[in-house]
Chains A and B, each alone.
Chain A
Amino acid sequence: MTTLLICLPLAAALIVWVLPLNPVSAGSLSLLAALAEVGIWIQLLVRYDFSKGGLQFSEQHAWIKDLGVSYHVGVYGFSVWLIGLTVVVLAAAIAYAFWAGRERTRAYMGLMLFLTGAIVGVFTAQDLLLFYAFFEAMLIPLYILVGVWGGPGRLGATLKFVLYTMAGSLLMLAAIIAYGLSQGTFDLVAIKPVSSDWLFLGFVAAFAIKAPLFPLHGWLPDAYRESSPEVAAVLSGVVSKAAAYGFLRIAITKFPGPAHDFRAPILALAAVSLIYGSLLAFRAPDMRGVVAYSSLAQMGLITMGVFAVNDLGLDGSVLQMVNHGLVSATLFLVVGMVERRTLTGELGRLGGMARGRPALATVLLTAGVIALAVPLSSAFAGEFLILAGIFQRGWGWAVAGAVAIVLAAMYVLRLVSAVLHRDVGPAVSESALDLRPAELGVTVPLLVCLLALSVWPAAITQHSFRGDHGAFDVAEQFK
């Protein structure tokens, strides 16, 4: 089943690339494949035995016997939710791309499908080299999607993105090789935890670039600004979670000693990302800037939760990964919808869009208030658990988080009112339509997921890790 989940989109990508379909049928086929993927995931969700936990649906085939490399995939409780996030957001992104119409549809759709398979691979790989292969396979379509279909500054953005992520990937590859060779196996389940600071830092650097964390976020503003909205949605919603997943699955599990020793500096970087991102989001001149920097802030928060290495922090960060993935994807898609109507994202030229456009106003407002983690939303539940977890590692971290709560209110409300309220901006024409049914069809399901999670955040927090795990038993989770 896991392999099916990985291979279905890859196969669909091949079909879309190879068959000479017209844009409509290529789009429909891709959307169908994406929805089928969601269907398979629902099967996985239903059939995964949460009461038992641990690795399930695992498949293992020898690959390079001498080195202990194998094709080993499988899912843990929390990976079920991350896969769910991936397939849902990618389905929405593909649907939006189909509706908005991208040039060279077949190539575009194929890349999106390929991306889906690769990300699912990252979340299911249980072998270090396989993980690396999927990680790279995830980045390559993104380079092309940003570089070919992006905005006017796409080349610079892509170059930066490639340079940063390549640096991270190489560090990770070197760390993987050194780690695997020293232990005689690359199997993520079987490999023993070690206490090498350098290997730990190699992994952390790679993930910190991908997340990103301050000050390694140089690629982020340009990449999020120049890519098409659905690619930005995938980048900030899903791809960044691969980094958080790496922190959780590799950094703290396989390197418990260094994770403990380096806790303070890593938490400091995460806290700085949180505050710094929030402040920059508060002054960003355009819609994408606000969402992009808020993404930086949120990844800082999630990283804090992971490195709290206790029940509250870990449960909270898995929940928050899903929340942030859904909400930032929604926001980027809405940004795209606004830009379609006004041809700009500059806050100074927007305004007054709520009048006569109730659907747009409702969608943006709902996504916005969830993004600022209004209490009772699932994002609130996630932030609350993370901060409650980090509080136990030192109250100062939680105070930084509490400051960020206030800052989040400031930047989200600024965004919402700059787009929706006050006088009608110069870029907003009278004839700019309300959201069309297709656009609602893309955003409303994402919001429904978020509202459902708000009613029952424990759906994720009770079904991520096995039983009653103590802070030092994290490694136990992965046996």
Chain B
Amino acid sequence: MVWGAWICLLSPLVAACAITAGGTHLSRRAAGWLATSSCVVAFAGAVAAFVGLLTHTASDRQFISTAWTWISGGKYQSGLSVIIDPLSVFMMLVVAGVGGLIVWYSIGYMDGDDEERRYFAYMALFVFSMLLLVQSGNLILLLAGWGMVGLSSYLLIGYWHQRPSAIAAAKKAFVMNAVGDATMALALFLLIQQGNSLEFGVLGGDFSSTVANLVALGLLGGAVAKSAQIPLHTWLPDAMEGPTPVSALIHAATMVTAGVYLIVRTHAIFEQAPKVADVAAGLGAATLLLAGLIALVQVDIKRVIAYSTMSQIGYMFVGAGIGSYPNAMFHLMTHAFFKALLFMTAGIVIHALTDEQDIRKMGGLRRLAPKTYWAFLVGSLALVGIFPFAGFFSKDSILAAAMAKGGAFGYILWAAGLAGTFLTGLYTFRLLFVVFWGEPRAFVREHFHPLGRDVVAFSLAIPVGILVVLSIVGGWIQFSPWWHPVETWLQTVAEPIVSPASWQEWTSIALSLLLGLTGIGVAWAVYGAHRVAVPRIAWAQRTLEHKFYFDEAYDALFYAPAVFLAKFLRRGVEQPLIADSGRDLGDDTRDLGSFVARAQTGLVRTYALAIASGVAVLAIVFVIVK
């Protein structure tokens, strides 16, 4: 079991190093297969850990394996250790499993790119980082995984580095995540000051409410940045500059859900800081609505899906914030399935249309690419949460939990979630109808080229097929009114603090189904049946297209002042006061030098005398004034 966990963690790292060191000695295809097989090995390791845990009784399922002391400072020390418990194994399975499918898909998608090896090295590095994040046995290694994920997403988003927009997006993602890293680090400093330890166990300790609030806020800052929740969300849509499988990996299966994992993992501190937990839930609710609204007006196929990701993670934040941890994790898992599926089918569309992403140029693909259409339809239905697809089972139980939390705040969250369901139906099926229904546009007729029957096509099709199956049946694992194995599995790590009654479950299910279907119906009426021009409100449209002006606000508030300050320091302080003062000093010395040159007798003893007497004077001054 312990070995399984270490193999799971290290095999992608080994693959990344091997591909980097191998360089051109390794064929491009081989690099792809090496990365894929490392993920398969990792998945096997995760399964071994899972089976190993099953052999223990539920109360006994937590193991920490330490390789050696990683860092120390006086009394504080942390080991290089992995934790093996139901939560980490759950995440290992999702990350290695879905990650492996995406890397496999990449073999087809990236075929013919001229730097494939670099791509696969980055992908393997990413999977390693994500596994480090979910397997780390203490908070500092969690932060390490956290940062490594940020680094590998930077590398992947900026993979096409000759595109200025890709590089800008990559930098933005990294810097925004660095903000989150910094707040997390501050929370960790506070913990060290409190108890000289960063083990997960200390989070349950007895803290004053100020300390608990500050630590929880710091951790929440990290979670919000990584999971692209308001207000640190602006990097995510831009990150669509990366290759599509990257979007699937980063924005569906793994990275952006890390914030949810963090909250669940450190729930002990959030339970001591209920106000901060409410903030998390509130941010989640705000994000799910705002992102849903923005998704309505986006015209880039990947950006629509990206905003829907933000929105879905909003649901998970609501779940984690109100203390319904197993449901948040369950939604994380089903979301990984159907969102990866949506991204990958979108990737096939983009691939078939010679890298075009603008949905206004698409249309009528239902007849040209029927299998892709069906796969996309399954993903969309799962996303909206229509019975019996995966999203149905997980999303509704979060809503029920919000209802069970009760109070005005609980019902606001619940109402926001329901409204979000309507929006989800609307924007998801807008995308589907615009892209797949209607008559093919001129652009499609000109550029569409179907997949062949070669290795490339199979690498694309098989992972998509597996995800289609998972998106249909993956949700059946848990149906909260009747059976809940996910909850039972996670119970020892993250016991939920709300338990909905069955009428709350059924009310939420009925309402959210109804609203989801309404959303689909409206989308059909507007985009499917008639393809009419939509009545628009100019200011609302503009606000949405500018994504509520977050980018502009950040530019004005942070980036511009930083640049201004840097310029001012360079022109106003460094140049005139420090660099040039030195130069003046030099010139003055030279003038003085020519004056003093008369003292240059050339006799060494004169110099020695001068130096010695100068030093002596200084020494006397020191002795006197002390």
Contact = CB atoms under 8 A, between A and B. Distances in A.
Verify that A and B bind, or say they do not: yes
Interface of A: 156, 159-160, 163-164, 170-171, 173-175, 177-178, 181-182, 196-199, 202, 215, 217-219, 221-222, 276, 279-280, 282-284, 310-313, 315-316, 352, 354-355, 358, 362, 369, 374-376, 380-381, 384-385, 387-389, 391-392, 395, 398-399, 402-403, 405-407, 409-410, 413-414, 417, 420-423, 455-458, 461-462, 468-470
Given A163-B585, A376-B147, A422-B161, A402 B182 contact: yes
Interface stretch (B38-46, B537-545, B617-625): B617-625
A41 to B, nearest CB: 23
A177 B619 contact: yes
Contacts of B144: 375-376, 380
Given A375-B181, A458-B77, A409 B69 contact: no
Given A196-B626, A283-B567, A422-B167, A160 B76 contact: no
Contacts of A414: 171
Nearest to A315: B73
Given A197-B626, A374-B148, 6 more contacts: A170-B615, A219-B582, A282-B563, A282-B566, A384-B140, A457-B71
Contact of A417 (B167, B562, B619): B167
Contacts of A423: 162, 164
Contact of B586 (A160, A199, A413): A160
Interface stretch (B337-345, B375-383, B570-578): B570-578
A385 B171 CA distance: 26
Nearest to B164: A422
B73 A388 contact: yes
B148 A375 contact: yes
Contacts of B164: 422-423
A459 B144 CA distance: 18
Contacts of A173: 615, 618
18 contacts: A163-B582, A164-B582, A182-B626, A276-B569, A280-B574, A283-B563, A355-B162, A374-B150, A376-B132, A376-B144, A376-B147, A376-B148, A388-B189, A457-B71, A458-B70, A458-B71, A461-B72, A462-B72
Given A198-B625, A199-B626, A388-B76, A398 B562 contact: no
B183 interface: yes
A170 B619 contact: no
A456 B189 contact: no
Given A421-B158, A469-B74, A456 B186 contact: no
Contacts of A458: 68-72, 77
Contacts of B182: 402-403, 405-406
Chain B CB within 10 A, most for which of A375, A405, A410, A420 = A375
A163 B618 contact: no
Contact of B178 (A222, A312, A384, A405): A405
Contacts of B148: 374-376
Interface of B: 20, 23, 68-77, 80, 118, 132, 140, 143-148, 150-151, 154, 158, 161-162, 164, 167, 170-171, 174-175, 178-179, 181-183, 185-186, 188-190, 192-193, 562-563, 565-567, 569-570, 573-574, 577-579, 581-583, 585-586, 589-590, 614-616, 618-619, 621-623, 625-626
A417 B618 CA distance: 50
A389 B590 CA distance: 45
Contacts of A181: 619, 623
A381 to B, nearest CB: 5
Contacts of A387: 185, 189
Contact of B186 (A352, A375, A402, A470): A402
Given A160-B586, A174-B621, A410 B162 contact: no
Contact of A280 (B23, B140, B570): B570
A160 B582 CA distance: 6
Contacts of A462: 69, 72, 77
